[in-house]
Amino acid sequence: MKNNFKQNELTKTQKEILEAFIKKFFTKRGNKRKNSGNEIEYIGTTLDRVFIKNFGFNLSRQNILEAFENLQYEIFTKNGEWNPETKNYKPSIKGNSIRKGDGYSGQNASYIYIDVKPLIVRQLMLVTLTLKPNTKKEKILATKDMKDQIELFKKNC
């Protein structure tokens, strides 16, 4: 599923909700590890889905990057390198490929990582999905706990 992110300007209240949400749910790691779970494309898709479902407004990657920057989270990048065997781009130090578009234009990179725990991002994504009947009980409980935390956050913001 591909999200069509709209470049939209958030209201002051929406920005405050986004930044409060980030402070509440995203722990800084401090180790600059790169993982698909802490790359802006996955974070952007996840937060957009959570916010449209729970707060009634969309987020762009640019909105999200600005919020993380305002909160002084570490942001680091990598360029891409074409892999002819798999016919796709992969993160690489020696790569020379960069992306254009929402969030990527100002960064001059193919991959933008935010120094947060990918597990939290993945748990937030699960909140927006319908779990299969054979899902492990631990995952169901973790998802329910995350939903409860989001509901509590909504009541307090």
pLDDT band at 30 (very low <50, low <70, confident <90, very high): confident
pLDDT in tens, 60-87: 999 999 999 999 999 998 888 888 888 8
Domain limits, the chain: 12-78+112-156
Q: Where does residue 108 fall: left (phi above 0), alpha (psi -120 to 50 degrees), or beta otherwise?
A: left
pTM for the full model? 0.85
> What's the pLDDT score for residue 2?
44
